[in-house]
Amino acid sequence: MREPVVLEDWDVEEPPPRERPAFWPVWFWPVLVWMPLDAWHERLARDLPRLAPDALARGQLSPEALAWLATAWVLVAALAEAGVYGMLWTARGARLPLAAATVAVVQTGVLELIALRVLDFGRAVPGPVAALLAGARALAPQGQAGAALAVAFGGAGLLALARCALFAAFQASLARRRWREAFAITCGVWLVSHVAQWWLLELFMGRSVFGSSITR
């Protein structure tokens, strides 16, 4: 009886990597960035007079100029966030294009605008439904931010989870890696950034995250 032939590992050719769907065409990127930024500008122009009345009272900037300045900061923050993910992917041996990742951050940020819109509905949306979509901040009394922990993690809802999942899909496509790997990285960055936000808010209030006050 003949013995079966065993193929060595080097005799077996690995299949070529499966092609990922292409990212948006470059010529369409300005539109993809401008549309969310315009929505952010509209939102900020409406909210800044309430959130930053002192800056407007000094007369240094008009409400419109202050809204555009805040909108530009949204774009800068998106660029910084994309840079952080780019460094993380580089450490894992993959390349995440900075410009395309910035477009993806701006695009997925629309889900945060939707969450803010859910908060605007107020009594029109039942509290548990709003909290499920936009996080526990929907249950806070209007005009009251609450404790630092509530501020940092108050937006943890289904829309925030959907944003992480969608941005992970964009990263997986751009970096040519698995979605679950990109999703784990995205959730990790989200968690670390919000813990840092909690810590900084506690320091600003003169406390530590362990509950003890800080002597000035």
Tens-digit pLDDT string for the chain (216 aa): 555 554 444 444 444 444 444 467 888 888 999 999 999 999 988 887 776 666 556 666 677 888 888 899 999 999 999 999 999 999 999 999 999 999 999 999 999 999 999 988 876 777 888 889 988 888 876 655 557 777 788 888 999 999 999 999 999 999 999 999 999 999 999 999 989 888 887 777 666 555 555 544
Residues 3-26: pLDDT tens digits? 555 444 444 444 444 444 446 788
Q: What is the pLDDT of residues 146-170, one digit of tens each?
A: 577 777 888 889 999 999 999 999 9
pLDDT for the residue 63: 76
Range 96-110 burial, b when 16+ CB lie within 10 A, else e? beeebbbbbbbbbbb
pLDDT at 72: 94
pLDDT of residue 27: 84
What pLDDT was estimated at residue 12? 43
Q: For 158-183, give the DSSP string.
A: HHHHHHHHHHHHHHHHHHT--HHHHH
Within 10 angstroms of residue 121's Cβ, the number of other Cβ atoms is: 13
Please give the structure tokens belonging to residue 26.
Answer: 């470059």
Domain ranges of the chain: 31-45+61-204
Report the predicted TM-score, pTM, of the whole model to 2 decimal places.
Answer: 0.79
